[in-house]
Amino acid sequence: MVSGFKATQPAVAVLALIVLLASFTMPIANPADPSPPDYALVIHGGAGVILRDKLDAETEQAYRTKLLEALETGREILAVGGSSLDAVEAVINLMEDSPLFNAGRGSVFTEAGKNEMDASIMTGHDLNAGAVAGVTTIKNPISAARRVMTHSKHVMLSRDGAEAFAADQGLEIVDPEYFRTERRWESYRKLKAKQESAAETEDTKHGTVGCVALDREGNIAAGTSTGGMTMKKWGRIGDSPVIGAGTYANNLTCGVSATGHGEFFIRNVVAHDISALMEYKGLALVAAADLVVKKKLVSQGATGGIVALDGEGNIAMSFNTPGMYRGFLKSNGEQSVFIFGDE
């Protein structure tokens, strides 16, 4: 009431003064709820030389909007008690369908001018996993990876065999032309004209997509989907479909999805290495991720990054490139998307 306020005005002023003075001497409390979130989700859309002055405002906005849409897709599933596996598949489907990313539609071109995709998925409660490699007609490779995990006795299927399996499973099969975008074709055409090798172009921009989720049951799932590296040849397969390299999930430790120069990620078993540092050395998530991405990989000249989360809903988004399309959300309301390294 207005009159009541007047009567207590001096008391309010004294209280305000105490609070003001206290704020100089007391640590500022974190406004975010410190208790572990009921669910959490983290995504990436590739790491690389992503610079402010090279990304026009419209394109930047398009990426931010799509990343937010991806987070929202995951939230809708996790908030109502859906599984981390469902969230990971749905989020990656959305990113595969977007021409912005190097996965599904918008995948980069091989040396022969084709789109060949890899994907994998893993669940942390049972260490089950599935993957497809070198596929050219499966609209959503991550869904095929999930089916390999849930509807076959195998972990990784490749090329026409994986495509026949996906068709048997009733997944959508498309003409290879579906994956072609002018933007990727233009980069391919330029590189082809310059006769550059994949090794010379590795450090431009990656664009793989990945998602790791923790659901209300405490289960972690992780998935990764990619068109691989521009100008790849001889049926080259990267780290993305390799369990332990590009993707890993274990409820005891964490879930990880990687992006970067796949050959290094395979040789360093990056995703599992982060989990192993937590399991065997007791490192916290961010320390484990930074050790692998910012020390080990950097010492070898390898570019890329990872997103990860642990059973407590802690998030890591570690990369050694100028930027990485990325974002996270937690049930306590925290949510952000980022592109550049300095934000």
CB atoms within 10 A of CB 285: 23
Residue 259 in contact with ligand ASP, rule: CB under 6 A: yes
Measured distance CA(51)–CA(322) in Å, rounded: 7
Q: Which of 110, 123, 208, 253 is catalytic?
A: 208
For residue 181, indicate whether it is catalytic.
no
CB atoms within 10 A of CB 187: 18
Residue 304 near residue 274, CB atoms below 8 Å: no
Cα–Cα distance between 57 and 122 in angstroms, integer?
36
Q: What are phi and psi of 221, to 5 degrees?
A: -135, 150
Among 37, 45, 46, 130, binds ligand ASP (CB under 6 A): 46
Options 98, 240, 251, 303; binder of ligand ASP; rule CB under 6 A: 240
Kindly indicate which of the ranges 141-149, 200-208, 280-288, 325-333 contains the residues binding ligand ASP, using the contact rule CB under 6 A: 200-208
Cα–Cα distance measured from residue 27 to residue 223, given in angstroms and rounded to the nearest whole number: 39
Instruction: Tell me: does residue 44 bind ligand ASP (CB under 6 A).
Output: no
Among 238, 255, 311, 327, the residue binding ligand ASP under the rule CB under 6 A is 238
For residue 123 the two structure tokens come to 């669940």
Q: How far is the CB of 307 from ligand ASP (least distance, A)?
A: 12
Q: Helix, strand or coil for residue 91?
A: helix
CB 290 within 8 A of CB 18: no
Asked if 225 is part of the footprint of ligand ASP (rule: CB under 6 A), the reply reads no
CB of 43 to ligand ASP, least distance (A): 14
Near ligand ASP by CB under 6 A, which window of 17-25, 180-188, 205-213, 269-277?
A: 205-213
Cα 128 from Cα 118, distance rounded (Å): 18
Within the chain, what is the greatest distance between any pair of CA atoms? 83
Can residue 82 be called a binding residue for ligand ASP (CB under 6 A)?
no
For ligand ASP, which is the closer residue by CB, 93 or 240?
A: 240
Q: How far is the CB of 205 from ligand ASP (least distance, A)?
A: 8
Interaxial angle between packed helices 141-151 and 84-97, expressed in degrees from 0 to 180 and rounded to the nearest 10: 150
Least separation in angstroms between CB 38 and ligand ASP: 30
The rounded distance, in Å, linking the Cα atoms of 124 and 134 is 25
- Binding span for ligand ASP by CB under 6 A among 124-132, 232-240, 294-302, 312-320: 232-240
**Among the residue ranges 77-85, 119-127, 152-160, 257-265, the one whose residues contact ligand ASP (CB under 6 A):** 257-265
Residues that bind ligand ASP (CB under 6 A): 46, 102, 206-208, 226, 228-229, 238-240, 259-260, 262
